Amino acid sequence: NAGVTQTPKFRILKIGQSMTLQCAQDMNHNYMYWYRQDPGMGLKLIYYSVGAGITDKGEVPNGYNVSRSTTEDFPLRLELAAPSQTSVYFCASSTGGNQPQHFGDGTRLSIL
Amino acid sequence: AQSVAQPEDQVNVAEGNPLTVKCTYSVSGNPYLFWYVQYPNRGLQFLLKYITGDNLVKGSYGFEAEFNKSQTSFHLKKPSALVSDSALYFCAVPPYSGGGADGLTFGKGTHLIIQP
């Protein structure tokens, strides 16, 4: 019963590098989300998707891209890493809007 | 846009005492309100939600929340605190009235510390 799986758990990047944060869920949820968590700031929505092939921007999308080719996977791409992107990133999924979201355990990313 | 506020950064409670974690909201229309808990180095876990109906909502791990429309509050409560309840608690609301597909807007979180 894996739920939402995020990889990697930790990563250190240099400024200007790129990487993809992976997120997979095995609950057949149509709705998926990417949040970032900064200390004392709560969580901010980066991107979300309501189904395969459909994505949309959240509150803080600049510097990120997403794709949703399957129901299960929702990767988040950082093209040119910047120190301001140092954060903990969480992926979540749900059966629909206003339904409980299931979260992965996060990816801790440092940009140096 | 809809929002929530958590006025306390930290709440300290002795084990066995009742606990309250405060949340106030600003919404238009009927509110959808959520509470989540986060343990160290883990993702958020859903505790409970309010959609409509009874003002007292029961959730996981013995937690409940009281919806108060006149005070625009949705405080999280538990009658008897456990040391294992120590965690970071978030109140959340969909950003726009009637919607939820576009994620949740979270409060800044409240650290709950239960002292033995």
The β-bridge relationship of strands B110-115 and B10-14 is: parallel
> What CATH class is the domain A4-95?
mainly beta
Q: Report which of B44, B76, B6, B114 is spatially closest to residue A40, judged by C-alpha positions.
A: B6
The β-bridge relationship of strands A107-111 and B110-115 is: unpaired
Asked if pLDDT for residue B46 goes beyond 80, the answer is: yes
In this complex, do A101 and B44 lie within 8 Å of one another by their Cβ atoms?
A: yes
Q: Which chain B residues have a beta carbon less than 8 Å from that of A40?
A: 9, 108-109
| Beta-carbon contacts below 8 Å between A and B | 66
The full set of domain ranges for chain A reads 4-95
Q: Report which of B111, B106, B105 is spatially closest to residue B40, judged by C-alpha positions.
A: B111
Tens digit of each residue's pLDDT (9 = 90 or more) over B52-67: 888 999 999 999 999 9
Contacts of A39 (CB under 8 A, 6+ apart): none
B103 contacts B4 by C-beta, under 8 angstroms: no
In this complex, do A45 and B43 lie within 8 Å of one another by their Cβ atoms?
A: no
From A55, which residue of chain B is nearest by alpha-carbon distance? B102
Asked if pLDDT for residue A107 goes beyond 80, the answer is: yes
Domain architecture of chain B: domains with CATH: 3-115 (2.60.40.10)
The β-bridge relationship of strands A102-103 and A87-94 is: antiparallel
A100 Cβ under 8 Å from any chain B Cβ: yes
Q: Residue B84: what are its φ and ψ, rounded to 5°?
A: -70, -10
CA distance A96 to B23: 24
- Cα of A12 to nearest chain B Cα, Å: 17
Tens digit of each residue's pLDDT (9 = 90 or more) over A15-64: 999 999 999 999 999 999 999 999 888 899 999 999 999 999 999 999 99
